[in-house]
Amino acid sequence: MVKIYTKTGDLGETSLLNGTRVSKAHDRVEAYGTLDELNAYIGWIRDMETDPGHREILLRIQNNLFAAEARIAADPGKPVKDLPHLPEEEIMLLEQEIDAMTSSLPPLKHFILPGGHPQVSRIHIARTVCRRAERCLVRLGKSSEVPPVVVRYLNRLSDFFFVLARKTGVDLKAGEVNWPGEKTPDR
């Protein structure tokens, strides 16, 4: 049986996928750790989701994020064999999902405040963690190689979560809280 603890990180360092030792405060560790946090939130959303189509796309997103995490968790100076790939087509899939959901929503005329229903709030949390992950990757990209597809994917993914939150709110008849303003009537 393999033990889950190695004790090699007890002094604040960890190993990247190809063995390079770095501080746990390294920008690369922060970036893939934030992707992992986002993935955990998506799991929570998926567990609470009642729409089978949404559950399916969320599972696909989780798999894509694992691929992105693997790419970010590797030292770009030391190639790793058989890293999973995040294809550009996954960005197009998110765009298609966004367009499909948007077509069934009322036009957005105000900023909206997160909330209205626990599931809507969970999706907004994922959206904000996604934006943080994107910022982490952009910061990492200033000093090290970051696959551009990962940044583009996260940018589109946060848009997806915004639209999914709106769609979920409408489906649950939760209404939206405009900013500034009042709650829209339940639909």
* pLDDT surpassing 90 at residue 1: no
pLDDT at position 3, please? 79
Instruction: Report yes or no on 19 lying in a domain.
Output: no
pLDDT at position 119, please? 96
Instruction: Report yes or no on 111 lying in a domain.
Output: yes
Report the CATH number that the domain containing residue 51 is assigned in CATH.
1.20.1200.10
pLDDT at position 171, please? 94
Amino acid at the residue 58: L
Higher pLDDT, 5 or 127: 127
What does pTM read for this prediction? Answer: 0.90
* pLDDT surpassing 60 at residue 185: no
Helices (H), 1-51: 27-48
Instruction: Report yes or no on 187 lying in a domain.
Output: no
Nearest to 153 by CA among 65, 53, 54: 65
DSSP 181: S
Domain of residue 112, residue span? 28-74+83-179
Q: How many domains does the chain have?
A: 1
Q: Mean pLDDT across the chain, nearest whole number? A: 92
Instruction: Report yes or no on 90 lying in a domain.
Output: yes
Q: How far apart, in whole angstroms, are the C-alpha atoms of residue 116 and residue 163?
A: 14
pLDDT at position 96, please? 98
pLDDT tens-place string over residues 131-140: 999 999 999 9
Higher pLDDT, 39 or 183: 39
Residue 128 CB-density burial (10 A; 0-12 exposed, 13-18 middle, 19+ buried): middle
Asked if residues 176 and 165 have their Cβ atoms less than 8 Å apart, the reply is: no
Percent pLDDT > 70 in the chain is 96
Highest mean pLDDT among 8-12, 109-113, 154-158, 178-182: 154-158
